[in-house]
Structure 1
Amino acid sequence: MQIQFKATKRVEQGTGASRRLRRAGQIPGIIYGSGDVETIALDHNELYHLLRKEAFHASILSVDVDGAKQAVLLRDTQWHPFRQQILHLDFQRVDASQKIHLKVPLHFANGEASPAVKLGGCMISHTITEVDVQCLPGNLPEFIEVDLANLQAGESIHVSQLPLPAGVELVAHGEGDPVVATAVTVKGAVAEEGAEGAAA
Structure 2
Amino acid sequence: MSEYATLEVEVRKNITKAENKKYLNNGYIIGVINQKGLDSIPIAVKRDAFRKVLKDYGRNAIVKLKDSDKNNYDVMVKSIELSPLKYEYYHVDFQKISLDEEIKVDVALKFLGGDLLESKRLILNRQMDTILVSGLPQNIPEAIEVDVSNKESGDNIFVSDLELGKGITAEVDSTLLVASITESKVEVEEEETEDQNEVAATTED
DSSP 3-state at the match of 2:18: helix
CA distance in 2: counterparts of 1:16 and 1:127, whole angstroms: 44
CA distance in 2, matches of 1:86, 1:111: 31
Letter in 2 for 1:95: S
- Alignment RMSD: 2.8
- Which residue is equivalent to 2:144? 144
Which of the two has higher C-alpha Rg? Answer: 2
Give the C-alpha shift of residue 58 in structure 1: 2.1
Aligned to 2:202: none
Q: CA deviation at 1:69?
A: 3.9
Q: Secondary structure at the match of 2:114?
A: coil
TM-score, scaled to structure 1: 0.80
**How many Å apart are 1:161 and its aligned residue?**
0.8
1:77–1:90 contact (8 Å) kept in structure 2:
yes
Structure 1: tracts of 5 or more residues without a match: none
Q: Does residue 37 in structure 1 map to residue 40 in structure 2?
A: yes
Which segment is superposed worse, 60-69 or 76-85? Answer: 60-69
Q: Within 2, Cα distance between the matches of 1:188 and 1:20?
A: 54
Report percent identity of matched pairs: 24
Q: Residue 12 of structure 1 aligns to a residue in which SS?
A: coil
Instruction: Give the structure-2-normalised TM-score.
Output: 0.79
Change (3 A) 1:123 1:54: farther
Distance (whole Å) between structure 1 residues aligned to residue 29 and residue 114 of structure 2:
40
- Alignment coverage as a number of residue pairs: 192
Q: Structure 2, unaligned stretches of length 5 or more? A: 199-205
Kindly report structure 1 stretches of 4+ aligned residues shifted beyond 6 Å: none
Letter in 2 for 1:155: D
Superposed, which structure 2 residues align to 1:79-118 within 5 Å? 79-113=82-116, 117-118=118-119
Q: Secondary structure at the match of 2:187?
A: helix
Alignment partner, residue 182 of structure 2: 184
Tell me by how many angstroms 1:192 deviates.
5.2
> 2:125 — aligned with what?
125
Partner of 1:158: 158
Q: Which amino acid aligns with 2:24?
A: R
- Paired amino acid for 2:148: L
Q: 2:113 corresponds to which letter in structure 1?
A: N
Residues 65-93 of structure 1, C-alpha deviations (whole Å, 9 max, x = no match): 24554221111223222123333221111
Q: Is the 8 A contact 1:58 1:105 kept in 2?
A: no
